Chain A
Amino acid sequence: MTTTTKPSAPVAAGHARRLGGGALALRQGRLEITQFLRSRESVVFTMGFPVIMILIFAAIFNDEIAPGVSYTQYFITGMIATGLMTVSFQNLGIWIPIERDRGVLKRYRGTPMPKWVWFAGKVLMVVAIGVAETALLLAVSVALFDLDLPGTAGRWLTFGWVSVLGVTACTLCGIAISSLARTARSGSAVVTPVALVLQFISGVFFVFTSLPSWMQQVAALFPLKWMCQGLRAVFLPESFGAREPGGSFELGRVALVLALWCVIGLVLCMTTFRWTTKRDG
C-alpha cells in the first residue's frame, strides 16, 4: 500500500456533480448485463433451456392439433412465453437471494445510490436478455420448424404488449418471491418448482384445452397461461381462436390479468423486499 498519496483535498474542480439518475440506471443495467453474461451457468440455463426443449419436443411430437396448426407451432409459442418467464421470474428469484446472501445488496444500501437505480438495473438486464432470448427462439423456430413470423402490424403490436406486460409482471413477482428464500441456495428451490408446475398447467407442454378443467382454472389465476394465450394470438392462425377455452384469444382478458399481476407484484415488492438477510436483523 502506498503511503505517499493523500486523499487529495477536493481539487479545484468546483463541485463535481453526481451522475444523474438516468445515467446511474444505465450504468447499473450495463453492470448487471455484464455479470449475467459472464456467469456461464445463467447464460446456458436461461438462454439454452427453451431452445433445447423446443428441439426435443419438436423431434418427438409432430402431429397436427388443428387444421394447419402443428403441435410444434403450439409448443413454440408456449416456449417463447416460458423464455420470458425464465429471464424475469426465475432469473431474479434465484439470483437476488444469492446477492442478498453475499452482502451485495447490503453494500449497495451503504452507498448514496438511490434505491430505484438498483431495481432499474435489474429491469434493464431482464429486458436485454429477454429480447436476445426471444430473438434466438424465433430464429431457431423460423429456420427449423416453419414458424411464421407475425404477418401484420397488429400482430406485432400484440406480440409487443403481451411480452411487455408479461415480463413486467414476472419481473415484479421474481423480485417479490426472492424475499421468501432465506439463504442463497434456497432461491432456486423456491422458484424452480413454481415455474415448472406453471409450465405444466398453463398449456406449454400440453395443449391447454386437453387439461382437466380444474387445472385450467388454477392456471388461469397465474400469468403464464395468459402469456401463452396472448402469444398464440400472435403466431397461430386466426381460426385457432375458436379452440381456446373462451372461444377466442380473449386479448382483453389477457391484458387485464397480466396488468393485475403487475399491480400484485408491485405491492408485494414494496411490502416484502429486504436488502439484508433475516439473520442480519
Chain B
Amino acid sequence: MDDQLAISVRGLRKAYGDNVAVAGVDLDVHRGEVFALLGPNGAGKTTTVEILEGYRQRDAGEVRVLGSDPADPDAHHRSRVGIVLQGTGEFDELTVAEVVRHFSGFYADADDPDKVIERVGLAGKATARTHTLSGGQKRRLDVALGIIGRPELLFLDEPTTGFDPEARREFWELIRDLAAAGTTIVLTTHYLDEAEALADRVGVIAAGRLVEVAPPDRLGNRQEALATVSWRTPDGTPETAQSATPTALVAELAARFGGEVPGLTVTRPTLEDVYLEMIGH
C-alpha cells in the first residue's frame, strides 16, 4: 500500500436490493489533497463516502482509508478521521461550548475547544443552546465536532448546503486553512463553484460510476476545448464562431471592424457545461 495515499478504492460495489448505488468505483486520494466528489442526487456520492467513513458495509471491492479497512474501524482509526455528516446530529438542550467540550474528551490529542469554536466562527454563540442556532451555524457546529480531534483526514458531506453566499466564502476559507495545515479533505457537493474553488481534483460520479477524475480546470478537457467567440455584425445580428485559435479570430475581427468589436465575448466551456454533459444532460 502506497503511504502517500490517504484513500485507495478498487472495484467498490454496493447495492440496496435491486438498486445498484455504487457500480465499481476506483479512486485514489493523496495525503494532503482536497478531493471533491461531484454528482447529482442519487448518484452514489453519500453511499461511497459513508462506506469510506465506516457507516456502511460494501458488497465488494478493496478499500483502504489511512491504511486500514474502514469496515471495522478501531478507536485509533476513528481518532484520525473527522466526519461531518449530511444530517446534523442535534443536541438541542446543550450549549455549543458544552457539546464541543464533550466531544473533545473522546480524543487523546484534541484541539482546544474554545479555539475550535472561534475557528468555525461561533465564538459569539458559545453559550447559546444549539437549538437557537441558524441552519448555517448548526453546520459550523458540525464542522467543529468534525475537526475537534485534529483529524488527518476530514470527510465533509455537502457541508455548505443552506449557507448564504457570505457564509460559504467564510467556510471555504476555513477549508483552505485546514488544507494548508496538511489535512486531507474529501468533500461531496452539489455546487460546481465550490468544487472549483476548493478542490485539487474533482471526481464526477454518475449512476454509481466515477465518470472522470481531474483537476477542476481540466475536467472534460476543458482547457483544450474550442473557444466560443461571439460578437454582433454592423446590422446588429449576433454572430458566433467556434475556434481553436480565438486570439487570431479576435485580431481578424478587430481589423474588420477597424477597432472595437461590438458585443465581443470569448468563452470556454464552464465547469457546469462539462459537468452537465458528463452526467448525461
Contacts and interface: CB of A to CB of B under 8 A. Distances in A.
Interface string A9-41: 010000111110001100100010011001100
Contacts of B268: none
B90 A104 contact: yes
Interface in B79-112: 79, 81, 83, 85, 87-94, 98, 102-103, 105-112
Interface string B26-66: 00000000000000000000010010011110000000000
A107 B85 contact: yes
A111 B78 contact: yes
A106 B84 CA distance: 11
A127 to B, nearest CB: 19
Contacts of A5: 115, 118-119
The binding surface of chain A is classed by DSSP as loop
B170 A1 contact: yes
B55 A112 contact: no
A280 interface: yes
A155 interface: no
A15 B108 contact: yes
Contacts of A109: 55
A110 B90 contact: no
Interface string A263-275: 0000000000000
B106 A113 contact: yes
Interface in B114-161: 115, 118-121, 145, 147, 149-150
B106 A7 contact: no
Interface residues of A, number: 37
A281 B53 contact: no
Size category of the B interface is: 35 or more
B85 A111 contact: no
Contacts of A152: none
B184 interface: no
Given A1-B119, A34-B93, A112 B85 contact: no
A106 B88 CA distance: 10
A102 B90 contact: yes
Contact of B105 (A8, A27, A35, A106): A27
Contacts of B108: 15-18
Contact of B53 (A18, A104, A110): A110
A112 B94 contact: no
A150 interface: no
Nearest to A276: B55
Nearest to A9: B181
B75 interface: yes
A3 interface: yes
Nearest to B170: A1
A27 B102 contact: yes
Given A1-B170, A27-B102, A35 B93 contact: yes
Contact of A103 (B90, B110, B111): B90
A2 interface: yes
B94 A16 contact: no
A90 B149 CA distance: 34
Given A7-B147, A27-B102, A110-B78, A16 B109 contact: yes
B80 to A, nearest CB: 9
B275 interface: no
Interface stretch (B171-179, B234-242, B259-267): B171-179
B29 to A, nearest CB: 18
Interface of B: 16, 47, 50, 53-56, 75-76, 78-79, 81, 83, 85, 87-94, 98, 102-103, 105-112, 115, 118-121, 145, 147, 149-150, 170-171, 173-174, 177-178, 180-181, 183
Given A8-B112, A104-B90, 5 more contacts: A3-B173, A17-B108, A107-B85, A281-B16, A281-B50
